[in-house]
Amino acid sequence: MSLIGFLVLLLIAAITGAIGQAIAGFSRGGCLAAIILGFVGAYVGQWIATRFNLPMFVVINVDGQPFPVVWAIIGAALVAALLSLFFGYRRTRRVRRA
């Protein structure tokens, strides 16, 4: 795999991970967390699709490496929802101004 192909794959994983986090309503970490969530979501989503014999909707091939976009988003949303159950909701403090 070339360097450009790897960077494109990272970009696609970051986008799918960020969309998955937005769907689940759970966001901890920044771009690196979204990239990891995108890759884990792609693995989980592809496993779900093959387990239940579901079709691959949108697959992007980057240097011969297939990346299932729709299943990556679904998997990332499931993993983010699972993480939100474990780590809970973090409430931000409001600063009162006089």
DSSP 19: H
Lowest mean pLDDT among 5-9, 60-64, 80-84, 86-90: 86-90
97 in a structural domain: no
Q: Is residue 94 part of a domain?
A: no
pLDDT at residue number 87: 79
Which two three-digit tokens encode residue 61?
């091939």
Question: Has residue 40 been placed in a domain?
Answer: yes
Confidence check: pLDDT of 98 > 80? no
In a domain, 98, yes or no: no
In a domain, 42, yes or no: yes
Overall domain count for the chain:
1
Do the domain assignments include residue 50? yes
Query: Residue 28 falls within a domain, yes or no?
Result: yes
Domain span at residue 15 reads 3-87
pLDDT interval class at 89 (50, 70, 90) = low
> pTM here?
0.81
Task: Find the helix packing angle between 31-51 and 69-87, rounded to 10°.
Answer: 110
Is 95 part of a structural domain of the chain?
A: no
- Rounded alpha-carbon distances, angstroms, from residue 19 to 53, 64, 81, 89: 24, 24, 12, 18
